[in-house]
Amino acid sequence: MDLRQGIGLRKLGRTVDEFQQDLLSNLYFRRGTTVESASMRDAYETLSLTVRDHLAERRARTAAAHYASNPRWVYYLSAEYLLGAQLEQNLLYSGTGEIAAQAVKSFGLTLEEIEELDVEPGLGNGGLGRLAACLVDAMATRDIPAVGYGIRYDFGIFKQSLAAGGQAEGPDDWAFQGNPWEFPAPDDRQTVGFYGHTEPVPGSSTRKVWVPGEIVLGEPSHMLVPGYGTDTVNIVRLWRARGSEASFDLSRFSAGQYAEAVQEAVRAENISKVLYPDDSTELGRELRLKQQYFLVSCSLRDIIRRFRLRNESWDDFPEKTVIQLNDTHPTIAIPELMRLLVDEYELDWDRAWSITRRTFAYTCHTLLPEALETWPVHVFERLLPRHLEIIYLINMLFLREVEERFPGDPGRVSRMSIIGEHPERRVRMANLAVVGTEAVNGVAELHSKLLRETVLNDFADLWPAKFQNVTNGISPRRFVKLANPRLSDLITEGLGDDGWLMDLERLAELGSLAGDASFLERWRAIKRANKVDLAAGDPDSLTDVMIKRFHEYKRQQLKLLHIITLYHRIRANPAGDWVPRTVLFAGKAAPAYHAAKNIIRLINAVGATIAADPVVSPYLKVVFAENYNVSLAERIVPAADLSEQISLAGKEASGTGNMKLALNGALTIGTLDGANIEIRARVGAENFFLFGLDAFEAAELQIAGYRPWEHYERDPELREALDAINAGLFGGVGHDVVDSLLGRDEYLTLADYRAYVDCQDEVERAWRDQDRWTRMSVMNTANSGFFSADRTVADYAARIWRVAPVPVAKDR
């Protein structure tokens, strides 16, 4: 079926000439300007619209195919999406890259200079938001009917810069000049209530009427999410908050009270104003809870609207709908669906509960207790009074079930309760998420096991079958094909075709090339060329990268202690045969997370001291790349030789940067944490630098009583490193870091220091044999196929979602 012909449209340009015509037509009719007066912005918008049309055409065919098949839909609810730059991706996914390059050339432009205007939508913090983006990419690639729902924040993740060696934060006004990739759909706007009170419904014990005290509008727009190598184009639908018409007070305005006249509208719009730049620690802000409910309420109504296009009976709802909760942020969807079904659609409680439970699934992304969201009951009561009543009823019925199954175990009952009592009454969102869903999964083998055995073990006792593992994955299109075109071409040449981009396990075929000297030579040359492009340091030095959010559990401070140790060793023996290293850090710290910001400051101070030292600087360079985001990751990952994955075992749920780096041929130095374990199992222990305590040993040490001082006293190199900081060798910066390490050292940095430094010596021995290193690098790439997000999505589809692909007919 050709929809364009069906509705009398001519075909989109497939030749350079036609593409040029399309550009001109878009420049005139959609930008309203001419070639002579066009700005670079016009060029960017015009090219983007032209490329977008190709995807929009596929989108129309996708929507038609989905409508016709009335499938079970996957609705992915996520407070964050880190989509990355769109233009380059969409040129690739629409297959227009080559004709577009030639067409813009005839206007005296290059794709590269136009791409510079493409601002990435930074609507997420870190791994969780990027995972959401990789999963929607893979769902489209796998032809799974899906919609990703999120919030269209005006300000994305803050812009990080360095000021006096420390992190400074600036606003990220990503869509200030508009966003050509977005389709506003004001018709589908939703109304969201907050505050107010509830009233009983005569004759019903479960139904209530909620009379909200504030009404806000949610206006959606969507961005296209194309699949690769298929015709499916799904969408991510993002909600933006607006005041209602009534929120503008004309009489006050006329009376000169300009600020008061718009205050209600401003208050409404604040809901989607900014992404909380808080990574994995709970932040007790009412506005954040408001954001969460805003996302959930708009999305659920939209999901129901879509369901009703093709279906009638509520009993079919779970057959046609699976809603995946990306962490606890959208968990209020559970009581919200109950409220809609019971209060608005008048279903009885048990039927509504059965529908609700079979509709949702929950992915947990953390093991840090402080990152499991809880909300004070009084905040909930004020903001969402009806939802709190529903949660109480869910909890009462649930705890009755627990008591029946585990009689005489009040400790268990209070641990499992959705309401925590101490030190204040709080709603435990993770408990609610487990109780109200059909499946719960962790994001790597170890993480899922620890969830079952520790954080959620009472729930696993009750419902063992509910708990699953789905190991994370990444998009090979973005993180190899787009990020590392040289390597991508070599792989395609080596394998004979580019089918590996959709079937990443095929990389295993590279294994046989690891013995071919000329192949290894080219492999090495590519890594070097990528380092030259990155221009972070000497391309012949060992490029050692630690790129991720700054958090004490991730232990950037451990890497820093190693750097200081190298510094001392080189100073003590300047004539030594040292391996030149460039250590590159990138990552943001939550603005209020002072300990993490202190580590950033110390990294830069150490880097400055080393740069100023003529003895050490020929061998060691420390670079802090500002404002880590998806685009920067795409430049660093292909250039990395060594991937630092050194979190304290048992703390990193999975990690996904570890996968991107291994896939691009970096060797990992890492602990037995998160997905590192699975990476090591696949690439082979001989191609992975393992060190440190495992999760069990770490937990035992904590229980036995950990004394960081003992390591300081016992290990001269460690002592020298910490003393140097305290002696003011690095500009007097870093006392706070030392205090925390010698105080509690919550993440056992000093306990793992010796093993880490020794393991780094082993890294250097391997590096000195470049042939061996390159073979190890090839083996990492060859055996990373499992970490494709396509596999992750196939796992979700088979085991949790129980959905089948719906193919989209080709355009004839």
Would residue 548 show up in a list of annotated catalytic residues for this protein?
yes
Taking contact as CB under 6 A, which single stretch among the options 294-302, 364-372, 462-470, 534-542 is the one that binds ligand NBG?
Answer: 364-372
Residue 139, CA atoms < 13 Å, CB-side half-sphere:
27
Among 85, 128, 418, 606, binds ligand NBG (CB under 6 A): 128
Give exposure, 700-733, as e/b (b: 16+ Cβ within 10 Å).
eeeeeebebeebbeebebbebbbebbeeebbeeb
Torsion of CA 761, 767, 769, 772, to 10 degrees: 110
Instruction: Give the residue among 155, 370, 210, 382 at the shortest CA–CA distance from 286.
Output: 382
Asked whether position 590 contacts ligand NBG by CB under 6 A, the answer is no
Least Cβ distance, residue 430 to ligand NBG (angstroms): 11
Q: Which is nearer to ligand NBG, 139 or 443 (CB)?
A: 443
Least Cβ distance, residue 130 to ligand NBG (angstroms): 8
Asked whether position 677 contacts ligand NBG by CB under 6 A, the answer is no
* Distance between CA atoms of residues 169 and 634, nearest Å: 22
**Which position has the token pair 């070599």?**
490
Q: DSSP state, 362? A: E
Asked whether position 655 contacts ligand NBG by CB under 6 A, the answer is yes
Instruction: Give the residue among 113, 86, 99, 116 at the shortest CA–CA distance from 20.
Output: 99
Which among 447, 506, 554, 621 is annotated as catalytic?
554
Asked whether position 674 contacts ligand NBG by CB under 6 A, the answer is yes
Which among 466, 481, 548, 555 is annotated as catalytic?
548
Question: Per the structure block, which two tokens stand in for 387?
Answer: 């939802």
Would residue 481 show up in a list of annotated catalytic residues for this protein?
no
Would residue 810 show up in a list of annotated catalytic residues for this protein?
no
How would you class 454 by CB atoms within 10 Å of its CB: exposed for 0-12, middle for 13-18, buried for 19 or more? middle
Q: Which is nearer to ligand NBG, 381 or 746 (CB)?
A: 746
- Contacts (Cβ under 8 Å, ≥6 apart) of 645: 652, 655, 657, 658, 668, 669, 670, 671, 673, 674, 676
Question: Per the structure block, which two tokens stand in for 120?
Answer: 């990435």
Asked whether position 126 contacts ligand NBG by CB under 6 A, the answer is yes
Residue nearest to ligand NBG (CB): 127
Question: Per the structure block, which two tokens stand in for 795?
Answer: 């796992």
Collapsed DSSP state (helix, strand, coil) of residue 774: helix
Would residue 554 show up in a list of annotated catalytic residues for this protein?
yes
Asked whether position 441 contacts ligand NBG by CB under 6 A, the answer is no
Asked whether position 653 contacts ligand NBG by CB under 6 A, the answer is yes
Which among 359, 374, 582, 656 is annotated as catalytic?
656
Taking contact as CB under 6 A, which single stretch among the options 125-133, 173-181, 389-397, 615-623 is the one that binds ligand NBG?
Answer: 125-133
Torsion of CA 312, 313, 319, 323, to 10 degrees: 80
Least Cβ distance, residue 279 to ligand NBG (angstroms): 6
Asked whether position 652 contacts ligand NBG by CB under 6 A, the answer is yes
Would residue 365 show up in a list of annotated catalytic residues for this protein?
yes
Would residue 527 show up in a list of annotated catalytic residues for this protein?
no
Q: Which is nearer to ligand NBG, 180 or 670 (CB)?
A: 670
Residues 451-490 as x/- pattern, contact with ligand NBG by CB under 6 A: ---------------------x------------------
Q: Which is nearer to ligand NBG, 94 or 291 (CB)?
A: 291
Taking contact as CB under 6 A, which single stretch among the options 28-36, 102-110, 225-233, 646-654 is the one that binds ligand NBG?
Answer: 646-654
* Distance between CA atoms of residues 38 and 47, nearest Å: 12
Asked whether position 131 contacts ligand NBG by CB under 6 A, the answer is yes
Collapsed DSSP state (helix, strand, coil) of residue 469: strand
Instruction: Give the residue among 64, 47, 213, 17 at the shortest CA–CA distance from 114.
Output: 47
Is the peptide bond between 318 and the residue preceding it cis, with omega within 30 degrees of 0? no
Q: Which is nearer to ligand NBG, 595 or 608 (CB)?
A: 595
Taking contact as CB under 6 A, which single stretch among the options 53-61, 164-172, 334-342, 651-659 is the one that binds ligand NBG?
Answer: 651-659
User: Which residues are near ligand NBG by CB under 6 A?
Assistant: 126-128, 131, 280, 327, 365-366, 371, 443, 472, 652-656, 674
Report, as residue numbers or ranges, the catalytic residues: 365, 548-549, 554, 656, 660
